[in-house]
Amino acid sequence: MEKTWRWFGKNDNITLAMLKQIGVEGIVTALHDVPLGEVWTREKIHDLKTYIEGYGMRWSVVESLPVTETIKYGGPDRDEQIEIYKQSLRNLAAEGIHTICYNFMPVLDWARTDLLHLNPNGTYNLYFSIPQFAYFDIYILKREGARESWADFKVLGPDGKPNGRDVLKEVDELRKTMTPEKEHQLVENIVIKTQGFVSGNFKEGDEHPVELFRQLLALYKGIDRDQLRANMKYFLEAIMPVCNECGMYMCVHPDDPPFQILGLPRIVTSDADIDWFLHAVDDPHNGLTFCAGSLSAGAQNNVVELARKYASRTWFVHLRSCYVFPNGDFTEASHLGGRADIIELARIFEKEEAKRADDPIIAQLPMRVDHGMTMLGDEARGYNAGYSFLGRMFAMGQVQGIIATVDRELGKKYHQPGFFD
Of 98, 117, 253, 285, the catalytic one is: 253
Of 12, 291, 310, 383, the catalytic one is: 291
Q: Is the separation of the CB atoms in 402 and 343 below 8 Å?
A: yes
Confirm whether 224 is a catalytic residue: no
Q: Is the separation of the CB atoms in 2 and 366 below 8 Å?
A: yes
**One-letter identity of residue 147:** R
Phi-psi region of 52 (alpha: psi -120 to 50; beta: other; left: phi over 0): alpha
Of 114, 273, 341, 370, the catalytic one is: 370
Q: How many CA atoms lie less than 13 Å away from 399 in the CB half-sphere?
A: 32
Q: Is the separation of the CB atoms in 318 and 340 below 8 Å?
A: no
| Cα-Cα-Cα-Cα dihedral sign, residues 83, 255, 383, 48 | negative
Closest CA to 349 of 413, 407, 394: 407
Strand partners, 62: 29, 100
SS3 90: helix
Q: Is the separation of the CB atoms in 13 and 380 below 8 Å?
A: no
Q: Which residues contact 88 (CB under 8 A, 6 or more apart)?
A: 39, 40, 65
Confirm whether 318 is a catalytic residue: yes
Of 12, 285, 387, 407, the catalytic one is: 387
Q: Is the separation of the CB atoms in 195 and 69 below 8 Å?
A: no
Confirm whether 285 is a catalytic residue: no
Confirm whether 358 is a catalytic residue: no
Closest CA to 93 of 275, 263, 242, 290: 242
Of 220, 329, 371, 407, the catalytic one is: 371
Of 318, 341, 383, 407, the catalytic one is: 318
Instruction: List active site positions.
Output: 253, 291, 318, 370-371, 387
